[in-house]
Amino acid sequence: MKILTIDDSNAIRFMMIKMLRDLGYKDVIGVGTAEEALPLISNQNFDVVFLDWNLPRISGLDLLKSIRAYSKYEKLSVVMVTTVQEKSNILQAIKIGLQGYLIKPISRELLLAKLKEIEAKIV
């Protein structure tokens, strides 16, 4: 499974990459902004994107909207990884096409459970 993780916090991004690799997911790329992520999403076939809500300049929600604007990304699983817990925000993101929502700090067990859920839908 090919994974992209987007978080402007270097510490959180590197922790996510390490956790994913420790769980056996070796094809993992991490970036800090939506601007860095967009060309990667366009040029590579990711299975899942872990996305922070609060990114500089282009928010995670706006990036999700950009991804969902193109039918070629309809099968791309997007999971928000954030501290934002407002129900209205979560519902808005789900309506746009969010597949999951994990609250920081994320546990290894919850991350693995979400990945297994996504893998089951891919197969």
Q: What CATH number does the domain containing 22 carry?
A: 3.40.50.2300
- 5-30 per-position pLDDT tens digit: 999 999 999 999 999 999 999 999 99
Q: Structurally, how many domains does the chain consist of?
A: 1
pLDDT of residue 65: 96
pLDDT of residue 122: 79
pLDDT of residue 107: 94
pLDDT of residue 13: 97
| Angle in degrees, 0-180, between the axes of helices 87-96 and 60-68, rounded to the nearest 10 | 20
Provide φ and ψ at 30, rounded to 5°.
Answer: -125, 135
Q: Which residues lie closer than 8 Å to 106 by C-beta, 6 or more apart?
A: 16, 19, 81
pLDDT of residue 70: 92
User: Could you give the CA distance from residue 32 to residue 56 in angstroms, rounded to a whole number?
Assistant: 9
Let me know: does 115 contact 48? Beta carbons within 8 Å. Answer: yes
pLDDT of residue 19: 97
User: CB atoms < 10 A from the CB of 72, how many?
Assistant: 9
pLDDT of residue 86: 84
Segments forming the whole domain that contains residue 66: 3-122
* Average pLDDT by stretches of 10, the chain with 123 residues: 97 97 98 98 96 95 95 94 86 92 93 95 78
pLDDT of residue 85: 81
